[in-house]
Protein backbone atom coordinates (compact mmCIF):
# COMPACT_ATOMS: atom_id res chain seq x y z
CA UNK A 1 0.00 0.00 0.00
CA UNK A 2 1.53 3.32 -1.00
CA UNK A 3 1.33 6.32 1.29
CA UNK A 4 0.72 8.82 -1.51
CA UNK A 5 -2.57 9.87 0.00
CA UNK A 6 -3.45 13.19 1.51
CA UNK A 7 -2.81 13.39 5.26
CA UNK A 8 -5.76 14.81 7.13
CA UNK A 9 -5.48 18.35 8.35
CA UNK A 10 -6.41 18.97 11.96
CA UNK A 11 -10.18 19.47 12.18
CA UNK A 12 -11.29 23.10 12.44
CA UNK A 13 -12.42 22.42 15.99
CA UNK A 14 -8.85 21.41 16.85
CA UNK A 15 -7.46 24.60 15.31
CA UNK A 16 -10.02 26.66 17.20
CA UNK A 17 -9.05 24.85 20.40
CA UNK A 18 -5.41 25.66 19.74
CA UNK A 19 -6.30 29.34 19.63
CA UNK A 20 -7.48 29.14 23.23
CA UNK A 21 -4.20 27.79 24.44
CA UNK A 22 7.04 29.71 22.11
CA UNK A 23 9.87 28.37 21.29
CA UNK A 24 10.98 28.82 17.67
CA UNK A 25 11.51 25.55 15.81
CA UNK A 26 13.81 24.74 12.95
CA UNK A 27 12.63 23.28 9.66
CA UNK A 28 11.73 19.61 9.77
CA UNK A 29 14.76 17.36 9.46
CA UNK A 30 13.98 13.70 8.91
CA UNK A 31 17.01 11.69 10.07
CA UNK A 32 15.61 8.42 8.76
CA UNK A 33 17.65 6.47 6.22
CA UNK A 34 16.08 6.25 2.78
CA UNK A 35 13.45 8.95 3.39
CA UNK A 36 13.20 11.65 0.75
CA UNK A 37 11.13 14.79 0.17
CA UNK A 38 8.05 14.23 -1.98
CA UNK A 39 8.31 16.15 -5.26
CA UNK A 40 11.15 18.21 -3.75
CA UNK A 41 8.90 19.51 -0.96
CA UNK A 42 10.96 19.49 2.28
CA UNK A 43 7.72 19.59 4.29
CA UNK A 44 6.53 16.19 3.02
CA UNK A 45 8.71 13.08 3.28
CA UNK A 46 8.24 9.43 2.36
CA UNK A 47 10.22 6.27 2.91
CA UNK A 48 11.83 4.49 -0.05
CA UNK A 49 8.92 2.03 -0.41
CA UNK A 50 6.23 4.70 -0.15
CA UNK A 51 4.57 2.97 2.81
CA UNK A 52 4.92 5.87 5.27
CA UNK A 53 4.48 9.61 4.92
CA UNK A 54 5.56 12.52 7.13
CA UNK A 55 4.25 16.06 6.79
CA UNK A 56 5.14 19.27 8.60
CA UNK A 57 2.60 22.07 8.54
CA UNK A 58 2.70 25.57 9.97
CA UNK A 59 -0.47 27.51 10.64
CA UNK A 60 -1.14 31.15 11.36
CA UNK A 61 -3.23 29.90 14.28
CA UNK A 62 -2.11 31.12 17.72
CA UNK A 63 -0.75 28.31 19.88
CA UNK A 64 1.17 29.59 22.91
CA UNK A 65 3.87 27.35 24.32
CA UNK A 66 2.66 24.80 26.84
CA UNK A 67 4.80 25.57 29.88
CA UNK A 68 3.99 22.60 32.09
CA UNK A 69 2.95 19.00 31.91
CA UNK A 70 -0.38 19.99 33.45
CA UNK A 71 -1.06 22.54 30.69
CA UNK A 72 -0.13 19.96 28.06
CA UNK A 73 -2.33 17.33 29.70
CA UNK A 74 -5.28 19.72 29.77
CA UNK A 75 -4.79 20.48 26.07
CA UNK A 76 -4.38 16.75 25.32
CA UNK A 77 -7.75 16.00 26.91
CA UNK A 78 -9.49 18.81 24.99
CA UNK A 79 -7.79 17.68 21.79
CA UNK A 80 -8.95 14.10 22.36
CA UNK A 81 -12.55 15.26 22.81
CA UNK A 82 -12.34 17.47 19.71
CA UNK A 83 -10.85 14.70 17.58
CA UNK A 84 -13.61 12.37 18.77
CA UNK A 85 -16.20 14.77 17.38
CA UNK A 86 -14.41 14.91 14.01
CA UNK A 87 -15.07 11.27 13.16
CA UNK A 88 -11.65 9.74 13.72
CA UNK A 89 -11.44 6.76 16.04
CA UNK A 90 -9.08 4.93 18.41
CA UNK A 91 -7.81 8.26 19.73
CA UNK A 92 -4.97 8.53 22.23
CA UNK A 93 -3.38 11.82 23.28
CA UNK A 94 -0.49 12.53 25.65
CA UNK A 95 1.87 15.33 26.64
CA UNK A 96 5.49 15.01 25.50
CA UNK A 97 8.43 17.13 26.59
CA UNK A 98 10.52 18.98 24.05
CA UNK A 99 13.61 20.79 25.35
CA UNK A 100 11.99 22.40 28.37
CA UNK A 101 8.59 23.02 26.82
CA UNK A 102 5.68 20.71 26.17
CA UNK A 103 3.88 19.44 23.09
CA UNK A 104 0.97 17.07 22.62
CA UNK A 105 1.10 13.82 20.70
CA UNK A 106 -2.10 12.41 19.24
CA UNK A 107 -2.57 9.03 17.60
CA UNK A 108 -5.77 8.04 15.86
CA UNK A 109 -7.26 6.09 12.97
CA UNK A 110 -8.55 8.06 9.99
CA UNK A 111 -10.49 6.60 7.07
CA UNK A 112 -10.19 7.99 3.58
CA UNK A 113 -11.45 6.42 0.38
CA UNK A 114 -12.38 3.23 2.22
CA UNK A 115 -8.84 2.74 3.56
CA UNK A 116 -7.95 3.11 7.25
CA UNK A 117 -4.75 4.95 8.14
CA UNK A 118 -3.01 5.19 11.50
CA UNK A 119 -2.00 8.78 12.16
CA UNK A 120 0.55 10.09 14.66
CA UNK A 121 0.40 13.86 15.02
CA UNK A 122 2.52 16.15 17.17
CA UNK A 123 1.12 19.59 18.09
CA UNK A 124 3.87 22.12 18.82
CA UNK A 125 4.17 25.80 19.50
CA UNK A 126 6.52 27.52 17.05
CA UNK A 127 7.03 31.11 18.18
CA UNK A 128 3.46 31.13 19.47
CA UNK A 129 1.92 29.62 16.33
CA UNK A 130 0.64 26.10 15.73
CA UNK A 131 2.94 23.68 13.96
CA UNK A 132 2.20 19.99 13.41
CA UNK A 133 4.34 17.03 12.42
CA UNK A 134 2.10 14.26 11.12
CA UNK A 135 2.98 10.70 10.19
CA UNK A 136 0.71 8.26 8.43
CA UNK A 137 0.66 4.70 7.17
CA UNK A 138 -2.03 2.20 6.26
CA UNK A 139 -3.58 0.77 9.43
CA UNK A 140 -1.96 -2.66 9.22
CA UNK A 141 1.24 -1.63 7.42
CA UNK A 142 4.11 -3.79 8.72
CA UNK A 143 7.09 -2.03 7.07
CA UNK A 144 10.00 -1.03 9.27
CA UNK A 145 9.24 2.59 8.40
CA UNK A 146 6.15 2.54 10.63
CA UNK A 147 7.97 2.17 13.95
CA UNK A 148 10.84 4.41 12.80
CA UNK A 149 8.35 7.14 11.83
CA UNK A 150 6.39 6.86 15.08
CA UNK A 151 9.59 6.92 17.16
CA UNK A 152 10.76 10.00 15.25
CA UNK A 153 7.49 11.82 15.96
CA UNK A 154 7.34 10.64 19.58
CA UNK A 155 10.93 11.36 20.58
CA UNK A 156 12.78 13.52 18.03
CA UNK A 157 10.52 15.85 16.05
CA UNK A 158 10.65 19.37 17.40
Task: Say what the pLDDT of residue 27 is.
Answer: 52
In the chain, the number of structural domains is 1
Q: What is the CA radius of gyration of the chain?
A: 15
Residue 5 within any structural domain of the chain: no
Task: Say what the pLDDT of residue 40 is.
Answer: 86
Q: Domain of 102? A: 12-156
What pTM, to 2 d.p., does this model score?
0.81
- For the ranges 1-15, 97-111, 143-157, the lowest mean pLDDT is seen at 1-15
3-class secondary structure for 63-112?
CCCECCHHHHHHHHHHHHHHHHHCCCEEEEEEEEEECCEEEEEEEEEEEE
Task: Say what the pLDDT of residue 21 is.
Answer: 38
Q: Domain with 43 in it: what CATH number?
A: 3.40.1000.10
List, for residues 34-67, the tens digit of each pLDDT value: 899 999 888 999 999 999 999 999 999 999 999 9
The average pLDDT across 61-81 equals 95
Q: Write down the mean pLDDT value for the chain.
A: 85
Amino acid sequence: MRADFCLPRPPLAVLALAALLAAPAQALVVPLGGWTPVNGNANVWTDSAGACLLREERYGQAFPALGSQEEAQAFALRLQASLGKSGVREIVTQPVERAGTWAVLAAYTHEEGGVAYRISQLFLSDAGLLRTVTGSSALHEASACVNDMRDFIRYLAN
